[in-house]
Amino acid sequence: MKSFSIKNFFVGFSAIAVLLFLYFPLAVIVLFSFNADTVSSFPIKHFSLKWYSVLFSDVELLRSVGTSITIAVISTLIALIIGIPAAYTMHKYDFKGKKLIDKIVLMPITLPGIVTGVAMLSFFPFVGVKISLTAVAFGHVTFLCAIVVTQMLARFKRLDPYLEQAAYDLGATPSATFFKVILPNIKTAIIGCVLLCLVLSMDEIPVTFFLIAGNNTLPLEIYAMMRRGITPEVNAISTLIFIFSTAAILLSLKLNKEK
Amino acid sequence: MPLVIWLLIFLVFPYCYIFIQSFFETDNFGKTIPGVSLDSYKRAFSNSLYIGTIFRTLMYAVLVAIICILLSLPLAYWIAFKVKKNKTFMYTLIALPLWVSYIIRAYAWKIILGREGVLNTFFQWAHITDKPVEYFLYSTFSTIVCLVYILTPFVAIPIYTAFEQIPKSLIEAAKDLGAGSFTTFRKVVFPLALPGIISGGTFALVLTMGDFLSPLLLGGPNTLFISNIVQNLFGTSNDRPLGSAVGILILLLIFLIIAIAARAEKKYSSLKSNAR
């Protein structure tokens, strides 16, 4: 019945054009990371891995990767420790102010990063957190809590309620039930959530921008490199980040779908 | 709950504190003096650099939101109604760029739009232009392009979700009654998807209002978004009371936008009451 029509063609054509718009810039980065030339001009004359070797001998850049990984791991861990029990409590019990907590926890991702950033910059010193990498980690924990709580709440909702009941019936204490029954069942969701958190922390700029002192994180190091001028080294590091974060996100999406 | 304590100390108190700080004063040497005064707000409202930039940024944000919606509509429509195989894959394709580092996505436009960038050298190579187009990069144009690029997936996802929720029977009914595809879209699909379109547009609007990186990385000397002013007031100019006041004004504007959008979404969400 449905055959070729100009309207269908037009919709398909514009949809694909938009998809191209979304992926063309990423393709450009990947492609030009193999460009031997110093300027990213069209057409590429020679291909080489030169910028990757420059990248791996750039001490500053490698150090920023280390800084970013450290911050990502620490803040993800703290966010999990704070977030999972909170999500569990919010799932299990009804209490006053639950809706409010729900709203507040999402604030760092719903409100503009700039305001969150300057707010933290102004207030952190009052609670003894100097503007430093520690402050950056604390800032990251705060927005990662939003991810952990929402992801885990969604997972708890899909959890079989009889599972917990059965554990209680068999005489398990609430903590034993949590650690021996609930936790193993949400393992894949936790791993998925960890991957999301790591990627988000590794990429975060607005909050980090205001809280950082001393060593740069990876995105801020790239930012500094960009301000100094365009260097194709950024193409190479961007390509690597793109590959790693895409792999992590796809894996995370897959894990979150599992029962 | 440890979460509550953490959020109080590291999120709620900081927000409260900039609210309080916005009533502080600065002396002639730029030192912050605690107190209760409306001085910062008076300065923010009397100087067009502040109040004017807020409105200019709002205009840019509206423009970005509209372009994002226009780009998202065909993409979301196509995946929701035309793509039959690999729908999940196509959906992932829209969502994936969201997770790619912001700095990388902004950087890409720098090498595409630069003076010796991909686009300019391609144009010269293809003899479309004979010298580089200067205003591509470091202009309001490149800032808007970058924001549209970064925010389109945010807009496309709620629109796609809205399209998916429309019962296919309604569309078939419209066709059976003799409506063409365009009439069906205009009279059935679009009104039913309006809440999704509004929520997507709101995302773009709010996120543009709060963005300071795109203008910083891709903007020209005259590109000034309100967030850049806040960033300067907390950085080089070091006038924290004024910075806080402008920050609070941005927040109030954003709350207002969200409230209006929420009402509009409610008003136009006909699907739940009619179809279920």
Residue B61, CA atoms < 13 Å, CB-side half-sphere: 27
Which pLDDT does position B276 carry in this prediction?
38
The structural domains of chain B, with segments of one domain joined by +, span 54-275
Looking at the complex, report in whole angstroms how far the Cα of residue B3 sits from the nearest Cα belonging to chain A.
5
pLDDT digits (tens, 9 = 90+) for B58-112: 999 999 999 999 999 999 999 998 888 888 888 899 989 988 899 999 999 998 9
Q: Is residue A5 part of a domain?
A: no
Looking at the complex, report in whole angstroms how far the Cα of residue B254 sits from the nearest Cα belonging to chain A.
8
| Nearest alpha-carbon partner for A129 in B132, B11, B114 | B11
Judge contact between B265 and B199, C-beta under 8 A: yes
Judge contact between B218 and B110, C-beta under 8 A: yes
Residue A199 with chain B: CB contacts under 8 Å: 99
Q: What integer is the mean pLDDT of B251-258?
A: 94
Q: Is residue A94 part of a domain?
A: yes
The verdict on A224 touching B (C-beta cutoff 8 Å) is no
- Which residue range is the domain that position A73 belongs to? 56-257
Assigned superfamily of B54-275: MetI-like (1.10.3720.10)
d(CA B245, CA B241) in angstroms, rounded, equals: 6
Q: Is residue A169 part of a domain?
A: yes
Q: Is residue A38 part of a domain?
A: no
Which pLDDT does position A4 carry in this prediction?
59
Q: Which residue has the higher pLDDT, B133 or B209?
A: B209
Which pLDDT does position A253 carry in this prediction?
85
Does residue A74 have a pLDDT over 60? yes
Does residue B270 have a pLDDT over 80? no
Q: Is residue A60 part of a domain?
A: yes
Which pLDDT does position B272 carry in this prediction?
57
Residue A39 with chain B: CB contacts under 8 Å: 116
ipTM (interface predicted TM): 0.88
- For residue B53, give every residue at least 6 positions away whose Cβ sits within 8 Å of its Cβ, in sequence order, or none: B224, B225, B226, B229
pLDDT digits (tens, 9 = 90+) for A46-58: 888 988 998 999 9
Rg (CA), chain B: 23
Q: Which residue of A has its CA nearest to B227?
A: A114
Judge contact between A22 and B152, C-beta under 8 A: yes
The CATH number of whichever domain residue A112 belongs to comes to 1.10.3720.10
The CA distances from residue A232 to A37, B86, B248, in Å, are: 8, 35, 40
Angle at alpha carbon of residue A164, lines to A159 and A168, rounded to 5°:
180
Alpha-carbon dihedral sign for residues A212, A217, A223, A229: positive
Looking at the structure of chain A, the number of domains it has is 1
Q: Is residue A236 part of a domain?
A: yes
Ramachandran angles phi, psi of B179, nearest 5°: -75, 140
Reported as a pLDDT band with limits 50, 70 and 90, residue B35 is confident
Which pLDDT does position A237 carry in this prediction?
93
Which pLDDT does position B213 carry in this prediction?
92
